[in-house]
Structure 1
Amino acid sequence: MSPSRPTLRTAVGTVSAAVLATSTLAGAPAANSAAPSPTTVAATQQHLAAKFPDVKFVDIEGDGGIILKANVFTPGDAVPGRRYPLIVLPTSWGMPQIEYVVQAKKLADAGYVVVGYNSRGFWQSGGQIETAGPPDIADASKVIDWALAHTAADPAKVGMGGVSYGAGISLLTSAFDKRVKAVAALSGWADLIDSIYSGRTQHQQAAALLGGAGALTGRPSPELKTILKDFLASDLAKEGDMLKWGAKRSPVTYLDRINANGAAIMLGNAWGDSLFPPNQYADFYEKLKGPKRLEFRPGDHATAEGLGLLGLPNDTWDHTKRWFDHYLKGADNGVDREAPVQLKSRSTGAYEGYKSWKDVPSGNRKIALNGTQQIRTDRDSGANGGTVFLSSLLDQFFRLPPMASIPLLPRSAAAVWQSERYTSAQHVRGTAKLHTTVTSTAGSGTGIAYLYDVGPLGVGKLVSHAPFTFHDKAPGQPFGVDLELFSTAYDVPAGHRLAVVVDSVDPLYIEHNPTGAKLAFSSPADDPSWVSVPVRD
């Protein structure tokens, strides 16, 4: 290795220090701006330029004339007059301009022109946070324009990718800019509403986290402030406005355009993603018509690819590079011949390949929700989905999901049903579904359904869960509820059983239960209640 090239250890240290420095400064933003001081930014860029000789820091004019702060990596052995594939990387929500420098450097060394830029409204880029609205899509096209005009980028070989916010912007841009031929959307969303408002239930911790990070590191637009305020206040009178706002920012809304443009799309997410649960990505994947790939791994939002941003070994980024190599460079690396659905089990850590999402389970096990159980709605039973990031990180690295003692759950606050004890391991793969009949003493209410792996001592490990909320129901009149739990890949050991728990309070969500209300769950003879658990034999 040439002395002028950064070692992996140096790269990790450089990026970590720079991210820490810029993030710390966000805690003391200047008036109407969360950007660090120009002196600090210049010092950080100078330090990075010393460690990464091929990087250039540039200003790119975005939509409406705002300035987007960007960095550019080009192949170190570039041949004059030769064109190279282009990869554009918009930054994640709240992340500084240097987020992708390590991966950008690796891609440039592999023969790509790479442009990473700070999304509008964040840090030093101009404008306000538009939450992947039309100005963000227009910005991405402007960045492509700039790269084609100022670098050796090949206009016929344009790719986009990114983590979280960058993933969403990349997918949306593929619907509106036909030049985008390949996308790697990591920890992103396809349906923004189904992500943070699934089951018509506000994901309280997720929305608060996004709002707080946006206010700390950027300049939220008035529209975003209003949407967040109405969302967290549970203002049902504004629900229609929120749904329209979310649909405008959801790639699934533009599915026909994405399919018509034909970009090769790779989707990656974590089983326990607190912001964008895997179901909405899986549904979107099944509807894509062009070249496609779906990868799910243990972890939480962006944790599966996070270590790769620091240069550590990371299969997510390795797979991303193979995707770009094939669809932008024409490399015959076999990625197009592999099973397009790649799932990493939470229990074994091993990959499993499938030809489609619907082919993941080979059957299902039904758990009958017999009898009638009634619960009060103003108590937390102790069953819950955990805490944003922390719980799924513990599951990812230590296989310690949220746990509860099933025998000790108060039956006044939690309805509980259990399967028989299984004589062989149950390989849960895919999306569990619940069907039941609910009778409420109030017109509105919220329930949260959990699926637990219960060992011999009665301790349950969370396999999956999902919330549901209803409004405008006639008190005392039964109605049906159909709910998809969040998709997963989990092995229930032989000798264990599965438990279904439904309660009404979970710190992850905003609940809509009036004080003193009660929920009853029944199983009419002509419409039995059940949970269907997908399994792979």
Structure 2
Amino acid sequence: MAVIATVLFAFAAALLGPVGTAWAGSVHNGASQPVYSYTDAIRESVWVDTGTVVDGAPVRVAADIIRPREPAAHGRRIPVIMDASPYYSCCGRGNESQVKTYDANGQPVQFPLYYDNYFVPRGYAVVLVDLAGTNRSDGCEDVGGPLEVAGAKSVIDWINGRATAHSSRTGGTEVKASWADGSVGMIGKSWDGTIANGVAATGVDGLKTIVPISAISSWYDYYRSQGAPLYPGTPADLAGYVEDPATTARCATTQGELAAGAPYSGDWTSFWQQRDYVANADKVKASVFVVHGQQDLNVRTVHFGQWWDALAARGVPRKIWLSQTGHVDPFDYRRSAWVDTLHGWFDHYLMGVDNGIDRQPMADIERAPDQWSTDAKWPAPGTRLTTVHLNPGTLGGSSTNSGTTAFTDDPSRDENAWAADVDRSTPDKTVFSTRALDHDVRMSGSGDLTLTVGSSTTSAHLSAVLVDIGPAAIRNYLGSGEGISTLTTRSCWGEGTPGDTGCFLDTAADTSQVGATVFSRGWIDLGHYASLDHGRPLTPGTPYRMTVHLSPTDHVVPAGHRLALIVAGTDNGLIDPPDTKPTLTVDLSHSELRLPLVGGTGALPAGQQPRAAASQAAPLAVLTGRQPADLR
């Protein structure tokens, strides 16, 4: 299907027919067609009452709208594609950091990304919403909290006639969405997709589908992992990043709440509960198209996994794409297939087109750079959460666990150093490995590791990673593009104007040859052994039992490779260290690893034998160059 579109005026005339004929709309041959003029589209801004008050003043959020002129002239209403973001002025959207631009009268000119260029000619309105406290919206940025969610939700309410909008920030005339049919699809990467999750979790009527890309499902899990701090900052820092200085000065109370509600201790608070969308997954009415990079070390993969599982329990219509990239939009790693698929998704769930996308394979998985497979369901049919036994140096091949192992936290080391030294005995880690596999082993979904651990000090953090040991060409997810390279050529996706061309820099896969690949991770703070509500000091020498949640994955360890579990302390760059430097002793007889194996107990080869450590072996090649987190 061609995706570099132009407005085909002859075809448009054939669809629209001569004056006085019946309305045909934009759908033809099972898909919406680019029959409307992008140049002549209506561009306008409204300010929507959110029903919330900050410092005694009502909060209105700004929404910039672009919609085709022709449907309204024929008395036809159209659906809405909506992206609510805090980044439209401070930081930009997409690989080229596009921001909104306006003419001298304040009317919108550039709508970031390609949604407007591609979908407006096909009969959609595109609405870009400034989250509360950002760009042209009122209020304070509360980072995934009630103000943000209420602001985005209020725009859907306005589109459905349940909220009031105005022609200016200070009031002006009332504006009605008489052009809208009430159907809304929310989309966005990172923070934008996070708000789509949050709004869907309110159960708002009119939201028919969401497409969260690399999105957060619970803000606690963005900043903490089972008590372990992932970042030293607080949501107040993130708010300050997207607000202008004047807004930050006005929002001191909210800033204080953002700092106080997110204790560095890792304790679960009511602040986190307000920002846990998974807890309200039972309210979701919209279909959900989840997209995530399996090597996203910014919005880590726990977010899509727990959201997916909660939606599955609810029976929500779902689709999923999992790439090998880090924090990257599919427009930048699988552009043509992505736009085609998104087009079909919106046509089906917003225009009601029976195009069969709801009957296509549920999952697309990137197996190697630009090589994809599909599955009818996800996790893959035949997946079983399977107990894999642990013995010193050995993974699987036994009917029991036995022995002990110990390691000393070294905060200067990380998962890639551990993987490179998988066959070296080093004091900072312990390794459990299979022998070379005689057949492919696939994992699909989330696993866990229950450990009985004693610490030599009063505090300890623990990391667990699954490693595919063997040569592979993978996307360079730790590079500056997190798996993509940006080229100098451009291609156009839809219609354009001089102020919004619809043309974007092309990309290609950035690849690397490695000898070991970390593909699933988990981190905990042992001080939260009793509850996430309150951490406490450890008693040295006392064993504590905790379960590490391993991040969801869909990975095939090929025949000839080995599967390894590495358990260690601080994973440098991914969690912060504890305030002591403990030695941890693991009682394997009271520990258990469970993996989501396709084929269940028969997936791993039997008869594993312990391997002698190759202490003089050269380190394996792994990726280096981790980049700092950026929620965009």
Which TM bucket (shorter chain)? Answer: 0.7 to 0.9
* Selected match of 2:526 from 455, 461, 470: 470
The 5-angstrom pairing of residues 274-423 of structure 1 reads 274-277=298-301, 278-301=304-327, 303-305=328-330, 307=332, 313-346=335-368, 349-357=371-379, 359=381, 361=383, 364=386, 366=388, 368-370=390-392, 371-384=403-416, 404-408=420-424, 411-423=426-438
| Structure 1 contact 347–491 (Cα < 8 Å) conserved | no
Match of 1:395 in 2: none
For residues 92-119 of structure 1, give each alpha carbon's deviation from its aligned partner in whole angstroms, at most 9, with x where no partner exists.
Answer: 5554445644212211111112211222
| Structure 2 contact 433–565 (Cα < 8 Å) conserved | yes
**Cα pair distance change 1:313/1:92, threshold 3 Å:** farther
Match of 2:578 in 1: 513
1:61 equivalent in alignment to 2:79: no
| Structure 1 contact 504–511 (Cα < 8 Å) conserved | no
SS across alignment from 2:226 = helix
1:191 equivalent in alignment to 2:215: no
One-letter amino acid matched to 1:116: L
One-letter amino acid matched to 1:181: K
**Cα pair distance change 1:275/1:253, threshold 3 Å:** same
Match of 1:110 in 2: 122
| Structure 2 contact 457–580 (Cα < 8 Å) conserved | no
Q: Which has the higher helix share?
A: 1
Provide the rounded CA distance (Å) in 1 between the counterparts of 2:570 and 2:318: 38
One-letter amino acid matched to 2:516: G
For residues 301-344 of structure 1, give each alpha carbon's deviation from its aligned partner in whole angstroms, at most 9, with x where no partner exists.
Answer: 2x133538xxx825444333322211221111111112334433
One-letter amino acid matched to 2:352: G
1:88 equivalent in alignment to 2:88: no
Match of 1:158 in 2: 184
Provide the rounded CA distance (Å) in 1 between the counterparts of 2:280 and 2:294: 25
| Structure 1 contact 113–152 (Cα < 8 Å) conserved | no
SS across alignment from 1:345 = strand
| Structure 1 contact 88–161 (Cα < 8 Å) conserved | yes
Provide the rounded CA distance (Å) in 2 between the counterparts of 1:90 and 1:360: 38
**Cα pair distance change 1:320/1:152, threshold 3 Å:** farther
Q: Shift of residue 129 of structure 1?
A: 0.8
Q: Shift of residue 437 of structure 1?
A: 1.8
Provide the rounded CA distance (Å) in 1 between the counterparts of 2:7 and 2:438: 60
**Cα pair distance change 1:287/1:467, threshold 3 Å:** same
**Cα pair distance change 1:332/1:249, threshold 3 Å:** same
Root-mean-square deviation over aligned CA pairs: 3.5
The 5-angstrom pairing of residues 442-521 of structure 1 reads 442-455=457-470, 459-471=515-527, 472=536, 473-511=538-576, 513-521=578-586
1:178 equivalent in alignment to 2:205: yes
**Cα pair distance change 1:251/1:186, threshold 3 Å:** same
One-letter amino acid matched to 1:272: Q
| Structure 1 contact 374–415 (Cα < 8 Å) conserved | yes
Provide the rounded CA distance (Å) in 2 between the counterparts of 1:235 and 1:138: 29
Q: Shift of residue 367 of structure 1?
A: 5.0
SS across alignment from 2:288 = strand
**Cα pair distance change 1:516/1:72, threshold 3 Å:** closer
Provide the rounded CA distance (Å) in 2 between the counterparts of 1:366 and 1:347: 30
Match of 2:597 in 1: 534
The 5-angstrom pairing of residues 228-267 of structure 1 reads 229=259, 234-235=264-265, 239-240=267-268, 243-258=269-284, 262-267=285-290
Q: Shift of residue 442 of structure 1?
A: 2.5
One-letter amino acid matched to 1:532: L
| Structure 2 contact 61–129 (Cα < 8 Å) conserved | yes
For residues 105-140 of structure 1, give each alpha carbon's deviation from its aligned partner in whole angstroms, at most 9, with x where no partner exists.
Answer: 211111112211222222343322122322223322
| Structure 1 contact 297–304 (Cα < 8 Å) conserved | no
**Cα pair distance change 1:214/1:321, threshold 3 Å:** farther
| Structure 1 contact 4–53 (Cα < 8 Å) conserved | no
One-letter amino acid matched to 1:522: D
Between 95-104 and 498-507, the greater mean CA deviation after superposition: 95-104
Q: Shift of residue 86 of structure 1?
A: 2.0
Q: Shift of residue 82 of structure 1?
A: 0.9
SS across alignment from 1:106 = helix
Normalised by the length of structure 1, the TM-score is 0.75
One-letter amino acid matched to 2:77: R
* Selected match of 1:424 from 403, 428, 439: 439
| Structure 2 contact 80–184 (Cα < 8 Å) conserved | yes
SS across alignment from 1:406 = coil
One-letter amino acid matched to 1:234: Y
Q: Shift of residue 83 of structure 1?
A: 0.8
| Structure 2 contact 451–546 (Cα < 8 Å) conserved | yes
One-letter amino acid matched to 2:330: E
Provide the rounded CA distance (Å) in 2 between the counterparts of 1:141 and 1:282: 22
SS across alignment from 1:204 = coil
Q: Shift of residue 227 of structure 1?
A: 6.0
**Cα pair distance change 1:459/1:257, threshold 3 Å:** closer
For residues 499-533 of structure 1, give each alpha carbon's deviation from its aligned partner in whole angstroms, at most 9, with x where no partner exists.
Answer: 22122122334445343421011212xx3544536
Match of 1:74 in 2: 67
Between 152-161 and 468-477, the greater mean CA deviation after superposition: 152-161
SS across alignment from 1:508 = coil
**Cα pair distance change 1:223/1:482, threshold 3 Å:** farther
One-letter amino acid matched to 1:380: S
**Cα pair distance change 1:197/1:354, threshold 3 Å:** farther
Percent identity at matched positions?
20
One-letter amino acid matched to 2:45: V
Provide the rounded CA distance (Å) in 1 between the counterparts of 2:468 and 2:261: 33
| Structure 1 contact 379–413 (Cα < 8 Å) conserved | no
Provide the rounded CA distance (Å) in 2 between the counterparts of 1:414 and 1:231: 34
What 5-or-longer segments of structure 1 have no aligned partner? 6-49, 386-401
The count of corresponding residues between Structure 1 and Structure 2 is 461
